[in-house]
Amino acid sequence: MARVYIDPGHGGRDPGAVDGKSGTDVLYTEEEDLTLTVGMLLYDALKRCGVNVGISRMADVYPSLGERARKANEWLADCFVSVHFNAHASAAKGMEVLYYPSSVKGKKLAANIYDHLAPITPWGDRGLKARDNLYVLRATSMPAVIVEYDFITSEEAERLVVTEAYLAAAAEATARGVCDWLPVPYVAPDGNEADDPTGDPDDVHIIVARQSKYGLVEDFCNENSLTHWTLEDLNVPTSTFHITKGGE
Ligand SMILES: [Zn+2]
């Protein structure tokens, strides 16, 4: 059975990127919460696909980077997927998948994942990046990627990525990419081997939103700018969502 090790970035004493409230930006977002949410959803998704899944944390705790890599190595994972959200002083937006430069299989894994992520980001292409200076890419002995799901420092992107629909779509898209790479058939949340996740472009619905620790996110969701996927398409029961800290 294929073995995939998931690493939800940061946690515990390390919140990762933090975006506080300022001006019109009323959301307070810590990267560690989003990474754990996506990591747990990805964990569930890959289990559903029959994959043997390991994970570096399932709670608000901080394993060191050395511990994360060592556990994946000892567990003999086939691949390592580290989950992160990005931050920058500019208004940068978009997803990136990072891989170790000399790893051909790692680059392929990054490409497989990005193929499925690209349809769910409204901001265009940042794509794949080779990085030789990132610990978990260097210290893992199997093909490894770091997925940066978007920039919480862009108010527009932040308001998107804190929605449950986005977090679920991000996890399912990542699962599809990992399944392509392994390869094993991807099994959708409804139990079927799903076809095109992007669906019919005419089949656009308003994303459902609700109050969360991040504040009310429905004003973003009432815009018709999200034309790539829908909550209905995901078929994810709301009970499977894990928003990890407070406010729920
Ligand atoms: Zn991070």
What CATH number corresponds to the domain at position 157? 3.40.630.40
Average pLDDT, rounded, for the chain: 82
Dist CA 41 CA 243 (whole Å): 10
Decide if pLDDT at 203 tops 80: no
Residue 86 CA to ligand 1 center (angstroms) comes to 6
Q: Is the same domain home to 123 and 243?
A: no
Q: Is the same domain home to 123 and 219?
A: no
Residue 174 CA to ligand 1 center (angstroms) comes to 17
* Closest residue by Cα to residue 44 from 246, 181, 187, 143: 187
Q: Is the same domain home to 68 and 109?
A: yes
* Closest residue by Cα to residue 84 from 24, 148, 155: 148
pLDDT digits (tens, 9 = 90+) for 33-60: 999 999 999 999 999 999 999 999 999 9
Residue 188 CA to ligand 1 center (angstroms) comes to 27
Q: Is the same domain home to 215 and 177?
A: no
Residue 224 CA to ligand 1 center (angstroms) comes to 29
Phi, psi of 48 (to 5 degrees): -60, -30
Say which DSSP state 164 is in. Answer: H
pTM above 0.85, yes or no: no
**Residues 6 or more apart whose Cβ sits within 8 Å of residue 230:** 165, 199, 203, 204, 205, 207
Residue 10 CA to ligand 1 center (angstroms) comes to 6
Name the domain count of the chain.
2
Residue 222 CA to ligand 1 center (angstroms) comes to 29
List the structure tokens of 95. Answer: 């997803």
Residue 190 CA to ligand 1 center (angstroms) comes to 31
Q: Is the same domain home to 144 and 225?
A: no
Decide if pLDDT at 223 tops 90: no
Residue 188: strand, helix, or coil: coil
- Count the neighbouring beta carbons within 10 Å of the beta carbon of residue 222: 11
Q: Is the same domain home to 158 and 229?
A: no
Contact status, residue 152 vs residue 17, Cβ threshold 8 Å: yes
Contact status, residue 157 vs residue 124, Cβ threshold 8 Å: no
Contact status, residue 183 vs residue 48, Cβ threshold 8 Å: no
Residue 36 CA to ligand 1 center (angstroms) comes to 11
Q: Is the same domain home to 131 and 227?
A: no
Residue 200 CA to ligand 1 center (angstroms) comes to 33
Q: Is the same domain home to 230 and 173?
A: no
Q: Does some domain include residue 223?
A: yes
Mean pLDDT of the region 146-151: 97
Residue 18 CA to ligand 1 center (angstroms) comes to 10
In sequence order, what DSSP letters do the residues of 102-123 get, joined into one string?
A: T-HHHHHHHHHHHHHHGGG-TT
Dist CA 140 CA 106 (whole Å): 11
Q: Is the same domain home to 144 and 239?
A: no
Residue 201 CA to ligand 1 center (angstroms) comes to 32
Domain range spanning residue 138?
3-181
Residue 196 CA to ligand 1 center (angstroms) comes to 30
Beta-carbon neighbours within 5 Å of ion ligand 1: 9, 16, 84
Dist CA 18 CA 218 (whole Å): 21
Decide if pLDDT at 10 tops 70: yes
Q: Does some domain include residue 51?
A: yes
Residue 102 CA to ligand 1 center (angstroms) comes to 22
